[in-house]
Amino acid sequence: MKYSAVVRQRYLRDPSPARLGGLAANLARIESFSDHVEHRDVVQSLLEESKFFIEWAAPDVELDIQAELVELQIQLARWQLNWTEIWSSAERRMAMAAQARAWSGRVLKMSGMLS
């Protein structure tokens, strides 16, 4: 999926907490959609979109949040690198889903939207 300047501009109109909330929602969707093997392409798109969300959100957040986002982006890249093996194994796919759920909670907490 290509991300145009229009999509980027739309994303950047939101304040930082909303941007992080959108990233957290994407991660929750990764967890949710990973329960069915037929959702492969959807999850793959969500991984790619999440990497863009991190790239676009990071410059406007505090340094400690930036560091965590870098860690998350590395995790997303690892999942993409091992995509065929992860998706073909129900066990590995569920492990990825659990990690995505945990990251979703962490990012939502970082957003400040829970307080």
First to last CA, the chain: 34
In this prediction, residue 114 has a pLDDT band, given cuts at 50, 70 and 90, of confident
Distances (CA, A) of 77 to 36, 44, 96: 21, 11, 12
Closest by Cα among 101, 87, 99 to 32: 101
The more confident residue out of 2 and 43 is 43
User: What local confidence, expressed as pLDDT, does residue 39 receive?
Assistant: 97
Would you kindly state where each structural domain of the chain is located, as residue ranges? 5-111
Q: 1 pLDDT band (50/70/90 cuts)? A: very low
From the options 1.20.120, 1.10.150, 2.60.40, 1.10.287, give the CATH code of 5-111: 1.20.120
User: Do 82 and 55 touch, CB atoms closer than 8 A?
Assistant: no
